[in-house]
Chain A
């Protein structure tokens, strides 16, 4: 089959690979009908997430038709079922899964040994991600083996298109969890850094959850125009002061809730000198991440406010003003998304027409064009916001 394969930094190729095979009774195999490229894939593309290996298949936002089911998954899945695959692999039985903390499932990471050394404890297995989370082959491919498939799936009805339900795999629940973590009150200003696909979903979620005002920060005009369409007040950080404007919008008190939908690759620009330092350190392997957004959020957030972090960080960050955060009494909430915790509810919202996540798609191409689309998405060329691949 064809698949998008990681060969090294910025080197992704559309390769011919062997077909996946069922290896455990709980596995199933799907024929992928749609998959997408995520901002997290860009972190892997740039080799900022450690423990990728040449030959790893990319992709963690996929859906398709079940073509083969292992004996132990047959009670839950049948060939022909149409499913969306959550990016977090879950057993559905462990202590964490029972609490709905699916992204920290205790059983699905097949490289627990590595994870325990690096993170202290294991977290869930993830598709198309580092070997620290199991190194499971990803879904930017014609076929995908789904481990623990009896639990790791979202069944979707035939009357909804792939485009409407595909993002249940990741970015829609991720934006939703980011907003949910903010405990939104009707009086709240929610400031969201990053108007990529995750930021866009977080904006819509904060609107649905009833924030008084939602403010969206980025420097890419077309992404800001999409944020505005979703009900946010846009701030272009290259044209105005983020802190100044946020204080203006909140009577000088700062936003109650702040969401980081940027993660470890904050834009590097001379007007934000800390980003230059971070980039230099990153190049010399003295720091893993560029945490400008975290610093800015801690500074501008209203005392006793909440900082919600869906943006991915990979390792060590420098110069985080912990004293400021401590004295202001801020609450931090973060994590990989507990996808299945939210998807029944979010699927209902799509079915009822409350939201249609397909608004974010700007490019739809075949798998062969995948490598080039990584570049287009990364460089934000051609007004690209979200790429869907049709294997």
Chain B
């Protein structure tokens, strides 16, 4: 990122300050993780969309290509949401999607499936990713939620040193004209 800042210095004039060394970021670990999961989701979704036939064959789920493409679309949508300014709904949708993936893979564990080994591996991978998704979801909630505890009360902050009653209509009462509006009339 610091490299990017250096590259962007060509858009700056000689007297503009330039980054010398960089400090701690406003991005927390959970925010970064959400971005990682977002890109992963888009990558996986693209693979499911573009190579649904190979995925189906590899898992012994022939006949379910349409479902795999649908899941690909879902992964891409979740990924885009994970990369947005508020990633929590995106990550939550990933957790729900993980559940669907697991349910879909279970039938592939049947004994007569020649690709049973692949399906087991896939299930293991999904379980791992589910763990990451859940951790990320919890991390984001911890970092960004508004705790429901007591709020500060600002009922004493009128901003009018002479009191609210004196402030009402003070401009007109002082005989001042209304402010002249900007424009080119």
Contact = CB atoms under 8 A, between A and B. Distances in A.
30 contacts: A5-B22, A7-B2, A7-B5, A14-B24, A15-B22, A17-B20, A48-B85, A54-B1, A55-B4, A99-B182, A141-B17, A207-B164, A209-B171, A209-B172, A210-B170, A210-B171, A222-B151, A222-B153, A225-B154, A226-B155, A230-B160, A230-B164, A333-B181, A356-B161, A357-B159, A371-B23, A371-B24, A379-B144, A380-B146, A381-B146
Given A7-B5, A55-B5, A100-B182, A226 B154 contact: yes
Given A54-B8, A55-B18, A375-B26, A282 B84 contact: yes
A15 B159 CA distance: 35
Interface in B55-101: 80-81, 83-86
Interface in B132-170: 143-147, 151-162, 164, 167-170
Interface string A206-239: 0111100000000001110110111100000000
Contacts of A223: 154
Given A11-B1, A99-B184, A180-B181, A356 B22 contact: no
Contacts of B84: 279, 282-283
Contact of B8 (A47, A55, A208, A333): A55
B6 interface: yes
A271 interface: no
A257 interface: no
B172 A186 contact: yes
Nearest to A285: B80
Contacts of A141: 17
A57 B17 contact: yes
Interface string B38-53: 0000000000000000
B178 A23 contact: no
Given A46-B85, A225-B153, A354 B167 contact: yes
Contacts of A7: 1-2, 4-5, 22, 25
Interface string A279-308: 100111000000000000000000000000
B112 interface: no
Is the contact region of chain B dominated by helix, strand, or loop, or is it mixed? loop
A346 B16 CA distance: 32
Given A8-B1, A354-B170, A380-B146, A13 B23 contact: yes
Interface residues of A, number: 92
Interface in B89-137: none
Interface string A362-391: 100000100110110001110101000000
Contact of B151 (A99, A183, A342, A383): A383
Contacts of B22: 5, 7, 13, 15-16
